[in-house]
Structure 1
Amino acid sequence: MNQPRFLGLGCLLLLGSGRATAQDIPVYPPPAPLDTTGLGRTDAQTFANSQVVGMGPSKGLIVKYERIPGNFSLRSTAVGGGADYRTEVSKNANLIVKAYAPLLNHPHLKLILGLNYDRQEFQFSTPAATDQYGLYNNIENKGLTVIGAQLAVIRPVDAVHWYLFRVKTELNGDYTSNELNISDYLKVTSEFIYGWKRSATFAWGLGLQLGYNLGRQSIYPVLVYNRTFNPRWGVEALFPARVLVRRNLSPISLLFAGYEVASNNYNIHLRNAFASPNNPRVTSLELRQIDLKLRFRYEHELLSFLWTGVEAGYRYNYQLNAFDRTNNTRDRLIDSQLGGTPYASLDLFIVPPKKLLQKAERRRK
């Protein structure tokens, strides 16, 4: 491993990652709007949660399209011998759809159902010519799809303490609708976080996540830290996966800057088997993708129930490695890395209408 890759690994071990995290789970109703005349008026709360004054509204339905400009490099090496593969990626795009709905919405107990769909597409400038790189032909022809469902239990214990439990199941891989076998693509993640609401402007929590944060399924620590320092500045963090500094430009406009470590884990079924040092017939691969994104994000209200988000930044790919799924040792067979490149995304999301929230607030009072 060369020095830049070694340093990259050290950074990622400190940062961690997470595809679906607790901060993605909305809380109904969302927090009160930022009190620009002086913080502290909303400090009295019957039940605590992780939200703080100044955060954006809860998201009910999200449609997002992310595009990375083409013609960046892909470098692959066959571990244990074999030819290398070099090409340019002419297209890398993501379509993401998420939906959240409250199954139960009591002040002391909330159950949130979430559904998600994610499709990532690659196109390469030159086809893969050797058997072990048939992986890329699969990806180019089918794309990489994620279909998932999650259930979150949010339990405010009292005015200070709260906890959250979430379990999520996903089907991750290069499948199509007529060849889907659930057991071949199923991934399960879960997390538990216990937290403290110190005031309307400060909430934090500690927990554990069982997931694929660094490619393989393991247990990782989680720190939630949400704090509004004044009417304009705050921080929203799910460390080590994501840290964002928030700037409240107005009651309907927010600006964010920070980083996110995103990981994907896909199961790939190959059309053509190939031989590896420990397996004469490799027919199935596990593809692990880990990206570090330095990001700027702007959110703005278009209508009382509709917001838009625009994001841009720089993506550094730590790895896009393939492991043998037909071998219990999970041997690493292909060591790949995508070139660093800028990226941009646009999304629309539906939030609870203000009139509905105001009505719910009057009921609580």
Structure 2
Amino acid sequence: MRSRFSCARLLLWAPLTLLAAPRARAQDTPPPPVFPAPAPTALDSATNSSRLDNPRAFANPSVLGMGPSKGLIVRYERMPRFGVDATAKVEGLRDFSGDANKNARLSIKGYIPAWNHPHLKVIVGISYEREEFKFSNPPTQYELLDNIENKGLKNLATQIAIIRPVDAVHWYLVRLKGELAGDYTSGDLTTKDYLRMSAEAVYGWKRSPRFSWGVGLQYGYTFGRLSLYPALLYNRTFNERWGVEALFPARVTFRRNVSDQSILYAGYSVDGLNYIVHLRNELRRENQPDKRPLRTLELRETEVKFRLRWERELLSFLWLGAEGGYRYNYAFDAFDRTNADREKIIDSKLAGAPYASLELFITPPRKLLEKSGVRR
């Protein structure tokens, strides 16, 4: 009798046990990892041996899901034909209206981790950029435009970025940059005339491996003229596919992680460029005898880009970046650099236009990251 009762109880509980087994196994299964695996950012290219998702690691601005760090970058950007309108702001100069057949930019940048410790990272960067214009019916007989078409606008810069993790939550970032910007050639380059300095400092909090933010100040030419303005850094990965990377108000970018080898971005950026332009022919202002003839102008260029970007891994250490969008030119103005008043001389507007760029950049090889304990 007891044997029959035991068999009946076993037959009764067996199906319930089978139904409960998958639930128990599901509870024991760990949550899926962030997709793709973590990678350092450009500001954090000197990665330590600790995993970025290790809660005991030192804090930094990076979050899970960010794209790979960039060591060497070569980029070419091109804009098609667009209109140019220039209005003189002083007597003695004339206005101009015409077209630019071409606006192209070539940039080469390199970043080297000079110091790489868990509690301190120092990254040194060197860059060279050249911007060229080609106007319709050259020479235009408009001194400013003819001058920048013949020489081009150059920017030779070096910078140092310091990332200082305080503990597992707090961090701060300091960046200093010096650049020589203008229409100089090798024969007339002088540091006194062309040197530009900028800096930024951010203090932040690493709330989780997926969320890091900070507040600070930026001092530079993002909006054309040298100015100091607040900055909000916000890096966050919402789930396995989506994230946002921002340094507001300069740029905001939403990220879509398509796969481990492919990332899509969409957002905007504000770019400020400041060049010193030496004129071959003097510009004289009428009815202002106390003003010296203009020999040097300061060109302030500010633009907003609405952009789509795709990054794709070609090799374990080589990535391709393709970008396109629309450029809105806010200002392309020239100011007096000869006299001390810094008066606006020419108020120019470049018509909005689409743009496209291609970029190749080198990243730390996968094998190197795997040996150091960092998954990409």
- 5+ residue gaps, structure 1, are 1-22, 34-40
CA distance in 1, matches of 2:50, 2:357: 28
How many Å apart are 1:43 and its aligned residue? 5.0
Q: Which residue in 1 is equivalent to 2:45?
A: 27
Contact 2:48 2:118 survives alignment (8 Å) = no
Q: Which residue in 1 is equivalent to 2:124?
A: 113
1:56 and 2:67 aligned: yes
2:267 to 258, 279, 289: 258
How many Å apart are 1:30 and its aligned residue? 8.4
CA distance in 2, matches of 1:95, 1:186: 20
Instruction: State the SS of the aligned residue for 1:164.
Output: strand
Q: Which amino acid aligns with 1:309?
A: G
Query: Any residues of structure 2 matched to 1:96-175 within 5 Å, and which?
Result: 96-127=107-138, 133-175=142-184
Q: Which residue in 1 is equivalent to 2:367?
A: 355
- 5+ residue gaps, structure 2, are 1-40
1:290 and 2:302 aligned: yes
Provide the TM-score with structure 2 as the length reference. 0.85
How many Å apart are 1:214 and its aligned residue? 1.8
CA distance in 1, matches of 2:132, 2:43: 26
How many Å apart are 1:280 and its aligned residue? 3.9
Contact 1:26 1:60 survives alignment (8 Å) = no
Query: Any residues of structure 2 matched to 1:134-283 within 5 Å, and which?
Result: 134-276=143-285, 278=288, 279-283=291-295
CA distance in 2, matches of 1:288, 1:32: 43
Instruction: State the SS of the aligned residue for 2:293.
Output: strand
CA distance in 1, matches of 2:56, 2:109: 30
Provide the TM-score with structure 1 as the length reference. 0.87
1:311 and 2:303 aligned: no
How many Å apart are 1:24 and its aligned residue? 5.2
CA distance in 2, matches of 1:188, 1:45: 37
Per-residue CA shift, 1:218-262, capped at 9, x if unaligned? 111111000000000000001000000100000110000000111
How many Å apart are 1:45 and its aligned residue? 3.7
Q: Which residue in 2 is equivalent to 1:76?
A: 86
CA distance in 1, matches of 2:267, 2:312: 18
How many Å apart are 1:129 and its aligned residue? 5.3
Q: Which residue in 1 is equivalent to 2:31?
A: none
Q: Which residue in 1 is equivalent to 2:55?
A: 44
Q: Which residue in 2 is equivalent to 1:342?
A: 354
How many Å apart are 1:163 and its aligned residue? 0.4
Instruction: State the SS of the aligned residue for 1:358.
Output: helix
CA distance in 2, matches of 1:309, 1:31: 27
Poorly superposed stretches of 4+, deviation over 3 Å: 30-33, 127-130
1:328 to 340, 345, 352: 340
Q: Which amino acid aligns with 1:162?
A: W
Q: Which residue in 2 is equivalent to 1:17?
A: none
- Aligned in 2, Cα 1:140/1:359: closer, same or farther, shift over 3 Å? same
Higher CA-based Rg: 2
Q: Which residue in 2 is equivalent to 1:7?
A: none
Contact 1:31 1:57 survives alignment (8 Å) = no
Q: Which residue in 2 is equivalent to 1:11?
A: none
Contact 1:30 1:58 survives alignment (8 Å) = no
Instruction: State the SS of the aligned residue for 2:148.
Output: helix
Contact 1:128 1:134 survives alignment (8 Å) = no
Contact 2:285 2:293 survives alignment (8 Å) = yes
CA distance in 1, matches of 2:357, 2:50: 28
Contact 1:26 1:59 survives alignment (8 Å) = no
Q: Which residue in 1 is equivalent to 2:5?
A: none
- Aligned in 2, Cα 1:30/1:223: closer, same or farther, shift over 3 Å? farther
Instruction: State the SS of the aligned residue for 2:372.
Output: helix
- Aligned in 2, Cα 1:136/1:246: closer, same or farther, shift over 3 Å? same
Per-residue CA shift, 1:145-164, capped at 9, x if unaligned? 00000011110111000001
Query: How many residues of Structure 1 are paired with residues of Structure 2 in the alignment?
Result: 330
CA distance in 1, matches of 2:164, 2:204: 10
**What CA RMSD, in Å, does the superposition of the two structures yield over aligned residues?**
1.8
Q: Which residue in 2 is equivalent to 1:65?
A: 76
CA distance in 2, matches of 1:332, 1:30: 49
How many Å apart are 1:25 and its aligned residue? 2.7
Contact 1:31 1:53 survives alignment (8 Å) = no
CA distance in 2, matches of 1:144, 1:227: 36
CA distance in 1, matches of 2:309, 2:343: 38
